[in-house]
């Protein structure tokens, strides 16, 4: 068996791993590279191998850094099945279509901008994939239920286990038979932080011969949820009641928006805030929230109880979902009293940029960063203390207060990762650290060796095939 990391090695986007074995080949994830100037080039140069050699694809969860190149994979000629949990399949019906729409719009913008100047690369004027190509790729998706062991062809079986990261997210156990021996490869995908809102905690896995584990927060610990709860309550009180401004929360439409709604509602239920006016301005987030309700069986018990409370107390927790553009634009005329939750989560696209444009220069407002911000993104620049930012070609001062609320992360921190790894009854023969910036991956590798005493731990290197014994 041979592993090749085609993305998310030394970085947190572009997740894709190729597995070659005695009977064929398959991919685990097929993600979009995001953030930084090299992302477009990487996306266009990805998947540069014979796609007919790939028998099937496994997807850990729906986030685009794990699935966003699926339409391109199919457009380039892949004709095999793409397996994911039922909830992930539902989410991708929304997310891949939205991603394709953004690809088309960005290509239109590139074409318009090059008309006024000479030069430019022709490939930049063509969308990475189209809405129609994304629609066709959805026909390749095949749902698999959690905990169901399925055969994927000669010599390969797999099982999806709950990863607790976002709706439908999975740890994948893959059994590969070669020369009469079965070896188990476990891919963590993105692991959720235990004891967090909405979803059940990640399932602990007892055995693996080879393990690939994420390391987004591999070198740090999140603030406790209680501290985060207190901090957010204070931000809301000061901004809404004392300063009279708005609270703007950039949030991923999938997972993060639903967790934030839980926390905001819980603050009101607990009496920490008397009432809130919350607007979710993201058509995708609205649809995903509906899907989340449809998959209520994946919730934890506390979320079920809070949902029942919200349905009975709409006067105290006023929640509105914005769909059309005109209603979204009207929000920018509201000078105070609103909590606006909008995508994208890293502030690089979508309606959040308009809300930042109208609020970031106002001292009475607050911007709450509640998730990981990749290098090169606008969100990362805000977290790093930028005093000015450019939005729609306009240079704007950053006067609003910027708050980073790390305790709401959907990714496991270092202590949670170590605790999950302790679930293995014996160390894997080899462990590969993936999906992390260099310092985070190195930090996790070090504590695995020091605290768990594991050997054979290495940091994934991109495009370097690894032969497994």
CATH number of the domain within which 399 lies? 3.40.50.10890
CATH number of the domain within which 189 lies? 3.60.15.10
* Among 446, 469, 467, residue whose Cα is nearest residue 457: 446
Tell me the CA distances in angstroms from 396 to 163, 361, 362, one per residue in order.
40, 7, 10
DSSP class of 38: T
Residues 122 and 239 both lie in one domain: no
pLDDT (tens digit per residue) in 53-71? 999 999 999 999 999 999 9
Q: What is the mean pLDDT of residues 68-90?
A: 97
Last residue of one domain, picked from the residues 390, 408, 426: 408
Last residue of one domain, picked from the residues 408, 426, 452: 408
Query: Between residues 182 and 323, which one has the greater pLDDT?
Result: 182
Take residue 115 and report the two structure tokens written for it: 């008309």
When the pLDDT of each residue in the chain is averaged and rounded to a whole number, the result is 93
pLDDT of the residue at 147: 97
Residues 247 and 107 both lie in one domain: no
pLDDT (tens digit per residue) in 164-196? 999 999 999 999 999 889 999 999 999 999 988
Tell me the CA distances in angstroms from 405 to 233, 266, 339, one per residue in order.
11, 16, 15
Asked if the model's pLDDT at residue 120 lies above 60, the reply is no
Residues 15 and 143 both lie in one domain: yes
Residues 393 and 436 both lie in one domain: no
97 in the Ramachandran plot: left (φ > 0), alpha (ψ -120 to 50) or beta? alpha
pLDDT of the residue at 41: 94
CA torsion, ordered 43, 44, 50, 52, to nearest 10 deg: 70
Asked if the model's pLDDT at residue 80 lies above 70, the reply is yes
pLDDT of the residue at 378: 93
Residues 334 and 446 both lie in one domain: no
Residues 56 and 34 both lie in one domain: yes
Asked if the model's pLDDT at residue 218 lies above 80, the reply is yes
Residue 386 domain boundaries: 225-408
Residues 105 and 203 both lie in one domain: yes
Query: Between residues 349 and 382, which one has the greater pLDDT?
Result: 382
Residues 76 and 199 both lie in one domain: yes
Residues 243 and 207 both lie in one domain: no
Residues 343 and 396 both lie in one domain: yes
Q: What is the mean pLDDT of residues 20-48?
A: 93
pLDDT of the residue at 122: 57
Residues 243 and 350 both lie in one domain: yes
Last residue of one domain, picked from the residues 363, 388, 408: 408
Mention every residue, 6+ apart, whose C-beta is less than 8 A from residue 304: 296
Q: How many domains does the chain have?
A: 2
Tell me the CA distances in angstroms from 368 to 63, 250, 363, one per residue in order.
21, 7, 14
Q: What is the mean pLDDT of residues 97-119?
A: 78
pLDDT of the residue at 370: 87
Half-sphere exposure in the Cβ direction for 171 (13 Å, CA): 26
pLDDT of the residue at 346: 87
Asked if the model's pLDDT at residue 366 lies above 70, the reply is yes
Asked if the model's pLDDT at residue 232 lies above 90, the reply is yes
CA 16 to chain centre: 14
Residues 250 and 196 both lie in one domain: no
Q: How confident is the model at residue 405 (pLDDT cuts 50, 70, 90)?
A: confident
């Amino acid at each position: 068996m041979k592993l090749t990391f085609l993305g998310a090695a030394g970085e947190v986007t572009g997740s894709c791993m190729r597995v070659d074995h005695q009977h064929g080949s398959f991919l685990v994830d097929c993600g979009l590279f995001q953030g930084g100037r090299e992302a477009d080039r990487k996306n266009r140069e990805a998947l540069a191998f014979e796609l007919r050699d790939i028998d099937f694809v496994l997807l850990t969860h729906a986030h685009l850094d794990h699935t966003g190149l699926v339409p391109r994979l199919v457009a380039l000629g892949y004709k095999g099945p793409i397996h994911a949990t039922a909830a992930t399949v539902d989410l991708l019906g929304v997310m891949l279509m939205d991603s394709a729409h953004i690809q088309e719009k960005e290509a239109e913008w590139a074409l318009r901008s090059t008309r006024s100047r000479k030069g430019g690369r022709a490939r930049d004027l063509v969308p990475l994939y189209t809405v129609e190509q994304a629609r066709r790729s959805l026909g390749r998706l095949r749902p698999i239920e959690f905990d169901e062991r399925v055969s994927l062809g000669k010599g390969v079986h797999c099982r999806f286990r709950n990863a607790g990261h976002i709706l439908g997210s999975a740890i994948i156990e893959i059994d590969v038979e070669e020369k009469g021996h079965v070896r188990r490869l476990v891919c963590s995908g993105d692991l959720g932080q235990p004891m967090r809102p909405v979803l059940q905690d990640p399932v602990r896995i007892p055995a693996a011969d080879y393990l690939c584990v994420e390391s987004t927060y591999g070198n740090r610990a999140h603030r406790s949820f209680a501290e985060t709860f207190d901090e957010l309550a204070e931000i809301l009180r000061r901004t809404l009641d004392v300063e009279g401004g708005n609270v703007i929360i950039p949030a991923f439409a999938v997972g993060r928006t639903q967790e934030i709604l839980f926390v905001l509602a819980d603050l009101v239920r607990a009496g920490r805030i008397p009432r809130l006016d919350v607007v979710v301005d993201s058509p995708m987030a609205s649809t995903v929230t509906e899907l989340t309700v449809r998959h209520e069986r994946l919730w934890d018990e506390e979320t079920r109880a809070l949902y029942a409370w919200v349905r009975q107390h709409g006067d105290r927790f006023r929640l509105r979902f914005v769909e059309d553009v005109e209603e979204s634009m009207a929000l920018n005329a509201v000078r105070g009293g609103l909590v606006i939750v909008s995508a994208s989560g890293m502030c690089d696209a979508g309606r959040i940029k308009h809300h930042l444009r109208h609020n970031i220069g106002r001292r009475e407002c607050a911007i709450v960063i509640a998730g990981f911000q990749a290098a090169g993104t606008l969100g990362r620049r805000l977290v790093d203390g930028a005093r000015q930012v450019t939005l729609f070609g306009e240079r704007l001062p950053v006067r609003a207060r910027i708050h980073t609320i790390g305790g709401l992360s959907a990714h496991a921190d270092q202590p949670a990762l170590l605790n999950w790894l302790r679930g293995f009854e014996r160390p894997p023969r080899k462990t590969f650290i993936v999906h992390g910036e260099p310092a985070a991956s190195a930090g996790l590798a070090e504590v695995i060796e020091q605290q768990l005493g594991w050997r054979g731990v290495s940091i994934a290197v991109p495009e370097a095939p690894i032969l497994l014994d």
